[in-house]
Amino acid sequence: MTPVLEATGISVVHRTRSGPLHAVTDVSLSLEARRTLALVGESGSGKSSIAKAVLHLPPPTSGTVRLDGTDLAALSARELRGLRPRMQMVFQDPLSSLNPRRRVRDIVAEPLDAHPGTPPKGGRDARVDELLDAVGLPGDLFADRRPTQLSGGQAQRVAIARALAAEPRVLIADEAVSALDVSAQATVLNLLRGLTETLGLAGLFISHDLGVVRAVSDDVAVLYLGRLCEEGPTEDVLAAPTHPYTAALLAAVPEPGRALAADTRLVAADPPSPLAPPSGCGFRTRCPLATARCAAEQPATVRIAPDRRVACHHPLTGA
C-alpha cells in the first residue's frame, strides 16, 4: 500500500536562549489510508513538534514531508494553503481551538468558506448539519451555539466536524482526548476510530496514554527525547516490547490488582533536558540495562521482525 503521507528524516531544532534545542531528530513516519499510527511518548518528547512539522506549521528544520507524493516544501505558500485541507488536526485543548466569538455553524464551515472553490452539494448549511450529525451533535441543537456553550467533549466533536469539512486524507489527533473526562474520551475515540474506517483516512494519533493508544491505533511508534525508539503493530509492541523504554511505559500504566511502584523499571524519574541530551542513547540515564556502549554510541534502528524496528543496544527478547 502506498502511504498517503510520508515523512522522511524529520528534524526540528528550536533556537533558544540556551542554545539549539533538538526537539525532533531524524524521525520517519508513513501513514496509510484506513490505518492509524499512534505516536507515544512522555511530555517533552517531541510529539507535538512532529505533528506541527508534518503539517508544515512551520516546516521541519530538515527532512521532507510528502502528501500523496507531493513534497510540501516544494510548494509556494499559496499552493500549500490549497493543500492544507487534505491534512487536518484535532488539538489537545478543544475549547481554545474554537473561536469563542463565532457560532458552531461558522466554525465548522470555515474550511468551506476559506476555500470557496468547490461549494458542497446541497449548500453550505446542509453540509454543516450533515457534518454535525456525523459527529453526533444534531445541527438544530448545536449549530447556533457558541463554543462557551459546549462541554469539552462536544467542543472536541465540533473540532472534528470542522476537520472533516475540509475533506482530509490525513487526520492528526494531538492528545485529542487527554483533556476530556473518560466518558467523553470514549465517545471521541470511537468517533475517530470509525471515521478513519468509513472515510478511509490516514490517522496519526498522538498520546501519552497507552490505554488509549491500544484502543485506536493499528501501529505504534514510541518517541523518546525526539527520537523513535520502537515501532511496530500496536498489539505486538504492547504485548512484547523490545525497547526498555517501551517496557517501562507499559509498566507505568496503572492496572487494577497490580501494585505500581514495585515494578517501576526506570532508574530516574525525570527525562533529561533536551537542551543537554546524554551522549549515545538518550534513554541510558534512566535505563536499567545501560552499559558503557550505550553512552558511547547512538543505537541504530534495527529491523527485528518484518514490521518491527527498535533502536537499542540491548533489546529485550521474549518479555
Partner 1 sequence: MSDTPVSVPSGSAASVPDPSGLVVVAARPAVARARRRPPVGVLVAAGWLLVVLLTALILPLLPGCDPLRGDFTHPSAAPGPGHWFGTDANGRDLLYRTAAGARASFAVAALTVAVGLLVGGALGVAAGWFGGWTDRVIGFAADLLMSVPTLILVMIVVSLRGPGLPLIGCLIGAFTVPAFMRISRASVLSLTERGFVQAARMIGTSPLRILRREIVPHMAPVAVTFAFTATTIAIVAEGALSFLGFSLPPPAPTWGGIIAEGRTTLGSAPWISMVPATVLCLTVLAFNYLGEHLRSGAPTARTESTR
Chain residues that interact with partner 1, rule: CB under 8 A: 32, 35, 55, 57, 80-85, 87-89, 91, 93, 95-102, 110-111, 114-115, 135-138, 141, 148-149, 151, 153-154, 157, 159, 162, 166, 177, 182-183, 185-187, 189-190, 193, 209, 211-212, 214-219, 233-236, 255, 307
Length in residues, the chain:
319
| DSSP code for 310 | E
CB of residue 193 vs partner 1: minimum separation in angstroms? 7
Complex with partner 1: residue 10 or 80, whichever CB lies closer: 80
CB of residue 289 vs partner 1: minimum separation in angstroms? 28
Gap between the Cα atoms of 120 and 130, Å rounded: 11
Gap between the Cα atoms of 28 and 10, Å rounded: 6
Whether 42 and 222 have beta carbons less than 8 Å apart is answered as no
| Residue 296: all three cell numbers together | 558511547
CB of residue 98 vs partner 1: minimum separation in angstroms? 6
Complex with partner 1: residue 33 or 267, whichever CB lies closer: 33
Judged by DSSP in three states, 160 sits in: helix
Whether 165 and 111 have beta carbons less than 8 Å apart is answered as yes
CB of residue 111 vs partner 1: minimum separation in angstroms? 5
Complex with partner 1: residue 151 or 264, whichever CB lies closer: 151
CB of residue 153 vs partner 1: minimum separation in angstroms? 8
Complex with partner 1: residue 179 or 225, whichever CB lies closer: 179
Question: What is the signed CA dihedral for 88, 93, 99, 102, rounded to 10 degrees?
Answer: 90
Complex with partner 1: residue 159 or 294, whichever CB lies closer: 159
Complex with partner 1: residue 296 or 302, whichever CB lies closer: 302
Report the alpha-carbon angle 113-67-30, nearest 5.
Answer: 130
Q: Identify the CA nearest to 225 among candidates 15, 21, 17, 19.
A: 21
Longest CA–CA span in the chain (Å) reads 66
Gap between the Cα atoms of 243 and 310, Å rounded: 6
Gap between the Cα atoms of 301 and 309, Å rounded: 6
CB of residue 61 vs partner 1: minimum separation in angstroms? 18
Q: Identify the CA nearest to 51 among candidates 74, 71, 29.
A: 29
Complex with partner 1: residue 16 or 99, whichever CB lies closer: 99
CB of residue 239 vs partner 1: minimum separation in angstroms? 11
Complex with partner 1: residue 1 or 292, whichever CB lies closer: 1
CB of residue 121 vs partner 1: minimum separation in angstroms? 20
| Residue 47: all three cell numbers together | 510529539
